[in-house]
Amino acid sequence: MLCTDPKKSDSLAFGNFIHLISIKRLRIEIMCPLGVHTFFSAFMPEQAAAKAALILPCIALLLWLSSILTSKQEPEGKPVSLPGWSLLSIWPFFERRFDFLHRGFQITGQSIYQFKLLHNTVVVLSGESARRDFFQSKQLDLNAGFKFLSGAIPMMPGVTSNLQARQVALIHKRLVAAQSSERLSRLIPEILDDSRRLLDCWGISGTLDPFNELSQLIFQTTVRSIGCADLADDAEVVAQLKNLYDTLDTATTPASVLFSWFPSPSAVKRLLATKKIYDIINRAVTERLQGGVPRDDTLQLLLDHEDDKMLIVGFIMGLLVAGSRSTGTTGSWMITFLSGHPHWQATAAGEVKRLLERYSSHPTYSPACDPSSQPHSLASLSAQLSDIPLEAWENEVPVLDSIIRETLRLAEPHAAMRQNVGPEIRLGGKIVPGGAYVVYPYSDVHLNPELYPDPLRFDPARGVSKMPYAYVGLGGGNTMCLGQRLAKLELKLITALLVLGFELHAVDQAGLVLDELPQPDWNDTLTWTLHFVFVVRLYQLLSLYFT
C-alpha cells in the first residue's frame, strides 16, 4: 500500500521503520528513503541529510538480509510437536501408554510426531518407511532408550545398568552360548521336570489364575535355564526372588522413572528389592566360586569362561527380568487363549501326540498294566516328552509356532524405545536429533487391520504378511530377541504338558464358561496382565490320553 500524502507518509514510515524492515519488504523500499530524508533534513544540512537518508536504508537492508540468512529456520522435516508440554499432559505416557501414543497420532493428524519429556525430545513413529528405518538404524540404542523411558529393570550401576558397550556385547555372547543346541537339549528334561512338579500341585481339577500360576512356573524354569541350579532347586528362594522381581514391577511409577534420583517411597522400595536380589545371586555365585560343586548350568558356563564376578551377577539379575517377565506373560496369555479355543487346544495336542508317536521310546501308560499309577501320570508324560529331540521342538511344530506368534501379535503391548546416540538422522523422512528418544508402538503393525483383518481375533491360522517388519513380536532388524530360542522352547514344553495333561476352560468366578475371552490391555506395557477376575478350570486328561 502506497501513501500519497508526503507528510503523513514520512511520519508513518519512520514510526514503523523497524517493524516494516522485518515484515514488509515492498513498503520499506519505497517509503523509507523519502521519510528518512525529511527527518534528517530537520536536524542537519541538506547534503548530509541526503547522504544519511541513502546510507541508513542501505544499512537497514543489509541487516535485514543478514538476519534472513542467519536466522534459525524451522528445519524442513522436523516432526510436528504435540501441543502441551506440562508434566501432567505427558503423565499418561507412563500410565496409559497405548492411549497416549494413539491420541498423539489423532491430535497431530500425522504418522510421526514429537513431544517433550522434561527437557528431552521424544519422537513417536508409525508407518511402513519409519518402521523400516527404525529397525535398520545402527545408531538407535535400545538400552539407553529403556533406561530413560521404562526404568523397570533393577538399576545397579556397573552391574545391571550403565554398562559399557563391550560388557553388553559380552553378556549377549554368553546368552547365545547358554542357548547352544547341546545346552538346550540337556535343559529339556529339566524344564519338563520343574514344570511337572509345579503342575502336580494344581491337582486333578480345579481353577487357577493363569497370570499367577503360569508366571510362577515360568519364573522357576527361567531360573533353572539362565541362572543357577542351586537356586532353582530351592523352592523357597525361587519364591522369594519372584516376589522381589514383582516388587520391582509394582514400585515402578511414572515418578520413579522420571525422577529416578528422588528418594520417593517407591524408589526406596525398588532400591531395597534390587539390593536383596543382588544379595541372593551374589551369595550363590560366591558359594560356587568358593568350592561349591560344579553343576551343568549357566552359572558354571560363565565361571568356566572366567568372566568378571560382577558381570556374572549382572547377567543373572538382568536376564531373569528380561526372560521371565515376557515369557511368563506370553505363557499366561497362550493358556488363556487356548482355554477359550478348544479347537486350537485339540490341534496343539494332536501335533504333540504325533511327535510322541514318532520319537518317544517310553512305554505308553495304560491303567490296565499299572492300575496303581493313577493319577500321577504327569511324571510319565513328562518323561515321554523328554524323548522328543530339540530339533523336533524347533522345526516340527508349526501349530505351536503359530499359536506363540498369534499370542505375541495380540497380547504383547510393547513399544520399542531407543535413544539416538549418534548425530541427527531421518526416520520415515522426519528428523530425529542426536540425543532424542524414539518410540515405536507395536500396535502400528500388530493391530493394523490391513495387515491382520479383524485384528483383535485370536486366529493362529492367519498367514504371515510379506510386508517388511509386519510381525515384530520377537523384535526386528538389528534388535532381535536374544533369548527367543529358550523362550520358545519353554513355552512349547509347558504347552505340551498342559494340552496333553488337562482340558482347559475359561470360566468366570461362578464357574460358568465365558462366552467371550478377556482382551489384553494394551495400556499395561509392563506386566501385560489382566485386571479383572477370570480363571481357567482344569480337568486332568491323562487318564483319557494314556489309555
Residue numbers at the binding site for ligand HEM (CB under 6 A): 142, 175, 226, 319, 322-323, 326-327, 330, 408, 412, 414, 416, 473-475, 479, 481-483, 486-487
Please list, in sequence order, all residues whose beta carbon lies within 8 angstroms of the beta carbon of residue 475, skipping any fewer than 6 positions away.
416, 481
Residue number, nearest CB to ligand HEM = 483
Q: Residue 322 Cβ, how far from ligand HEM at the closest point, in Å?
A: 4
Question: Nine-digit cell at 10?
Answer: 514520512
Q: Residue 214 Cβ, how far from ligand HEM at the closest point, in Å?
A: 12
Q: Residue 494 Cβ, how far from ligand HEM at the closest point, in Å?
A: 11
Q: Are strands 437-441 and 120-124 parallel, antiparallel or unpaired?
A: parallel
- Which lies closer to ligand HEM via its Cβ, residue 131 or residue 414? 414
Q: Are strands 140-141 and 113-117 parallel, antiparallel or unpaired?
A: unpaired
Q: Residue 113 Cβ, how far from ligand HEM at the closest point, in Å?
A: 20
Give yes or no for a contact between 89 and 122, defined as CB atoms under 8 angstroms apart: no
CA distance 281 to 286: 9
Question: Nine-digit cell at 170?
Answer: 559380552
Nearest to 133 by CA among 525, 477, 543: 477
201 labelled binding-site residue:
no
Note the residue count of the chain: 547
- Which lies closer to ligand HEM via its Cβ, residue 40 or residue 458? 458
For residue 258, which amino acid is it?
Answer: L
Q: Residue 127 Cβ, how far from ligand HEM at the closest point, in Å?
A: 17
Distance of CA 376 to the CA centre of its chain: 39
513 forms bridges with which residues in the sheet? 507
DSSP secondary structure letter of residue 156: -
Q: Residue 483 Cβ, how far from ligand HEM at the closest point, in Å?
A: 2
- Which lies closer to ligand HEM via its Cβ, residue 35 or residue 483? 483
Question: Nine-digit cell at 467?
Answer: 510386508
Q: Residue 431 Cβ, how far from ligand HEM at the closest point, in Å?
A: 22
CA distance 379 to 376: 6
In the three-class reduction of DSSP (H, G, I as helix; E, B as strand; rest coil), residue 278 is classed as helix
Give yes or no for a contact between 274 and 248, defined as CB atoms under 8 angstroms apart: yes
Please list, in sequence order, all residues whose beta carbon lies within 8 angstroms of the beta carbon of residue 146, skipping any fewer than 6 positions away.
153, 417
Return phi, psi of residue 13, to 5°.
-65, -40
Distance of CA 158 to the CA centre of its chain: 22
Question: Which residues line the annotated binding site?
Answer: 481
Question: Which residues line the annotated binding site for heme?
Answer: 481
